[in-house]
Structures are given as C-alpha cells and as structure tokens.
C-alpha cells in the first residue's frame, strides 16, 4: 500500500513527501534541538574559576592551576591550602619508604600514613577547609607547579617538604624564594603546605 503524500509549501517552495517520512523529520528536529549531537557537547566547566593564585571559594584554598592527566590520574586543578600547617619532620630517617612518586602526592601520602611516623604527611592529611578533608602532602612536581604558577602564596624564607622520598635518609623539598628544588635530611622540621585535587 502506497504511503499518503503530504504537500508542503515554505517561502514559495513546494514539495511533497510521505506522511511517515514527515513524522521522522519532525521527531528528529525536536531531538536535535533538545539533545545536541555528541560532537557538539562541551565539557561542563564552572564559570567562576578564579585566576591562578587566587582563592577558590568553597574549595578549601587557592587555585594552583590545571594539572594535566598522568597515568591513571585524570586532569584536575591543584588546590593549595591557604596556610601552612607548621613545621614538621618528614620522619623515619634511615628507613626506605615506598613514597617515591615525584608526581603523585596523594599516592605518596597514603603510603606514608600507612607506614606511620611521618609527621609532615600526617599534618597535611589532618588539614580541613570548607568541609574538605582530602588534603595531602604534595609530591615534588606538585610543589614545583606551585612555584611556577603562584610562588607568592608560599613563604619565601624557608623550605617546604614534598612527599617524594629520594633515599632512606633524605626527601625532596622546595624553596619558593629562589625556586630551588633539592633534598634534605628527613629528621629536620620543614614547612608543610597541604594540597587537594579538584576534578572538573
């Protein structure tokens, strides 16, 4: 049985099509307006992202910049606590720790907390702000990002511990006054600045 044809006219142009085909086009048009093609969907990004180095309301600290995806850690913003948590030893000098990642402070900190007696990592993990309790001791690369992005938010006259071990006796540190990244004896008390991740 032949489909019934419908005659249409728009701006002087006339054409005919079957009633089922017209229904398909109408439905597709509605969905195209309500549900745009996947290729046109943009990721949802908050409109109120502050400039790097500025406080990020509700996120527990300062925007430390965007961190590219690495390994199984997706792209994210590094949120730097607004204040230090004092000076603390890295801990357990003479013992080799599993916290050796130069980029993943969260993984390092989990290892340090499990090993126990690592005061700097413990102090960072106890920090809370804006109801966020997922802070940790940053890895060497995360401290370096802070120096590249917003060194002015750190004290300039001291050293900061990273969560990255270099050897049984020393761990990596960062100086924000001159950008030097080196290592130091784990028994020394250095500044601690917690960070957390914000995934977008």
**pLDDT at position 44:** 42
**Does 141 score more than 80 pLDDT?**
yes
For residues 59 and 132, is the Cβ–Cβ distance under 8 A?
Answer: yes
Positive or negative: CA dihedral 187, 115, 180, 88: negative
Portion of the chain with pLDDT greater than 90, in percent: 74
d(CA 159, CA 151): 12
Q: Is the pTM above the cut of 0.85?
A: no
pLDDT digits (tens, 9 = 90+) for 46-56: 568 999 999 99
pLDDT digits (tens, 9 = 90+) for 52-106: 999 999 999 999 999 999 998 999 999 999 999 999 999 999 999 999 999 999 9
Question: Look-up: residue for tokens 């030893």?
Answer: 89
- CA dist list (Å): 29 to 38, 61, 112: 15, 46, 57
Portion of the chain with pLDDT greater than 70, in percent: 76
**pLDDT at position 47:** 62
What average pLDDT does the structure give for the chain?
88
d(CA 53, CA 31): 42
Q: What mean pLDDT comes out for the span 42-49?
A: 60
């Amino acid at each position: 049985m032949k489909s019934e044809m419908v005659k249409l006219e728009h701006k002087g142009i006339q054409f005919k099509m079957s009633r089922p085909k017209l229904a398909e086009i109408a439905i597709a048009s509605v969905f195209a307006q309500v549900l745009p093609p996947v290729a046109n969907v943009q990721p949802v990004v908050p409109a109120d992202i502050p400039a790097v180095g500025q406080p990020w309301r509700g996120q527990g600290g300062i925007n430390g910049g965007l961190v590219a995806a690495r390994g199984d850690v997706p792209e994210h913003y590094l949120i730097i606590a607004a204040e230090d948590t004092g000076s603390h030893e890295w801990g357990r000098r003479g013992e080799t720790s599993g916290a050796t990642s130069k980029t993943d402070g969260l993984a390092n900190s989990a290892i340090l907390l499990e090993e126990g007696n690592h005061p700097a990592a413990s102090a960072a993990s106890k920090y809370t702000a804006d109801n966020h309790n997922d802070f940790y001791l940053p890895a060497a690369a995360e401290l370096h990002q802070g120096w590249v992005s917003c060194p002015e938010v750190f004290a300039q006259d001291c050293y900061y511990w990273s969560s990255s071990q270099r050897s049984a006796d020393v761990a990596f540190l960062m100086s924000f006054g001159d950008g030097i990244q080196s290592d130091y004896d784990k028994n020394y008390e250095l500044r601690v600045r917690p960070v957390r991740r914000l995934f977008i």
